[in-house]
Amino acid sequence: MSSAEDSTEAKSEAVAQSTDVPVRDASTVILLRDGAEGVEVFLLERVGGMAFAGGMTVFPGGGVDISDADSELAWAGPDARWWAQRFGVDERHAQALVCAAARETFEECGVLLAGPSADSVVSDTHRYADDRGRLERREQTFAQFLTRNGLVLRADLLRPWSNWITPVGEKRRYDTRFFVAVQPDGQHADGATSEAASVGWRSLESALDEWRRGETILLPPTWSQLAGLTAFSTVAEVLASTPDITPIQPNLYHVDGELRIDFPGQDGYYAGSAHPWTGR
């Protein structure tokens, strides 16, 4: 049997083994700021042993909750119809994705994209530390938190960026919408979450250099976002961009006993790092 036939058979086997894995919606936020070396991003190293992406370096984000579709909350910025058009979903679905993006950003790094009015944003989130813990423990919904504190969700502080779907063959699969957002003035991203072993701001080149040296592990979607953002010199340039959001679902298969993943622009990923992801 030829190597091409072997590859095709391996792909078919992967598909057959995991077609019954449900695909869950998720939202991920690429948090940005301008730094001395250009655009910087906030990254978390996930705790090793976690069910999904344990030990990986990622952006803040997570799964969408049913409660994220709650319509009873104050909202500023593009409405659900606009987001629905950008992501190719219905309006209720779009609202849930946006709310999940804001909620997960607050839970995972303490950055709150909300304010007391449609044109303001909280400058210090420490007063909401208890609420942050309750959100992470799922003791309250994001809508309940915002409403009780008289806060407006600032959807205008988010921008749609990309859409990646976990390949067939993984034990957990997500349909993840990526957003970009700027850290609001006065707020400070932190690592006060049970899901992060370490956190920090990195310039795009520093983040990629650490990966090239094998000091971090980046999943293909994370690497792809970092590499793509190097085309921008400032955060303002990023926010002014309107990328075409076409869903990307990589292909997963085995090569010589290792997992391999094919995706658009993959050459730099496999050639660039001392330890690219192999699915081991």
Residue 260 lies in a domain: yes
Residue 171 burial by CB count (10 A; 0-12/13-18/19+): exposed, middle or buried? Answer: exposed
Pairing of strands 23-35, 61-63: antiparallel
Q: Is pLDDT of 125 > 90?
A: yes
Please report the pLDDT score of residue 4 as a whole number.
Answer: 42
pLDDT at 11 over 80: no
Band of the pLDDT at 273, cuts 50, 70, 90? low
259 within a domain of the structure (yes/no) = yes
User: What phi and psi values does residue 176 have, to the nearest 5 degrees?
Assistant: -105, 125
Under the banding of pLDDT at 50, 70 and 90, the label for residue 254 is confident
pLDDT of 19 above 80: no
Assess contact for 46 and 55: CB atoms under 8 A: yes
Q: Let me know if residue 279 belongs to a domain.
A: no
Check residues 269 and 196 and name the one with the higher pLDDT: 269
Point out the least confidently predicted range of 56-65, 88-97, 269-278. Answer: 269-278
Taking the C-alpha atoms of residue 65 and residue 141, their distance in angstroms, rounded to an integer, is: 9
The least confident of 23-32, 168-177, 209-218, 252-261 is: 252-261
Give the chain's mean pLDDT: 87
Confirm whether 14 is domain-assigned: yes
Is 63 part of any domain? yes
Asked if 166 contacts 173 with a C-beta cutoff of 8 angstroms, the reply is: yes
How many distinct structural domains can be found in the chain? 1
Copy the structure tokens of residue 271: 């050639």
Decide if pLDDT at 26 tops 50: yes
CA 169 vs. chain centroid, Å, equals: 20
pLDDT at 6 over 80: no
Q: Is residue 145 part of a domain?
A: yes
**Residue 132 near residue 87, CB atoms below 8 Å:** no
pLDDT at 267: 84
pLDDT at 268: 86
The rounded distance, in Å, linking the Cα atoms of 160 and 180 is 7
Query: What pLDDT is attached to residue 228?
Result: 96
SS3 207: helix
Indicate whether 3 pLDDT > 70: no
Whole-angstrom distance, CA of residue 64 vs CA of residue 81: 18
Residue 231 lies in a domain: yes
Per-residue confidence (pLDDT) for residue 12, from 0 to 100 = 43
At 221, list the tokens: 């979607």
Assigned domain for 119 exists: yes
Can you give the pTM of this predicted structure? 0.88
pLDDT band at 74 (very low <50, low <70, confident <90, very high): very high
Distance from C-alpha of 97 to C-alpha of 234, rounded to nearest angstrom: 26
Which tokens belong to 81?
């119809």
What pLDDT score does 115 carry? 98
pLDDT tier for residue 272 given thresholds of 50, 70 and 90? low
pLDDT bin (cut points 50, 70, 90) of residue 119 is very high
| Predicted pLDDT of residue 257 | 75
pLDDT of 231? 97
Residue 8, pLDDT above cutoff 70: no
Question: Where is mean pLDDT largest: 8-12, 42-46, 121-125?
Answer: 121-125
Beta strand pairing call for 23-35 and 173-182: parallel
Distance CA 280, CA 278 (A): 6
Residues whose CB is less than 8 angstroms from the CB of residue 257 and which lie 6 or more positions away in sequence, other chains included: none
Q: Two tokens at 149?
A: 């504190």
Instruction: Give residue 7's pLDDT.
Output: 41
Quote the domain boundaries for residue 262.
Answer: 3-185+195-272
> DSSP H helical segments within the chain, as ranges?
3-18, 80-87, 91-109, 129-136, 142-148, 204-212, 220-229, 235-240, 267-272
Question: Which residues touch 155 (CB under 8 Å, ≥6 apart)?
Answer: 75, 76, 77, 78, 83, 98, 102
What's the confidence (pLDDT) of residue 51? 45
The first and second tokens of residue 180, run together, are 């970009």
Whether residue 36 contacts residue 48, with contact meaning beta carbons closer than 8 Å, is answered with: no
Q: What is the CATH number of the domain that holds 107?
A: 3.90.79.10
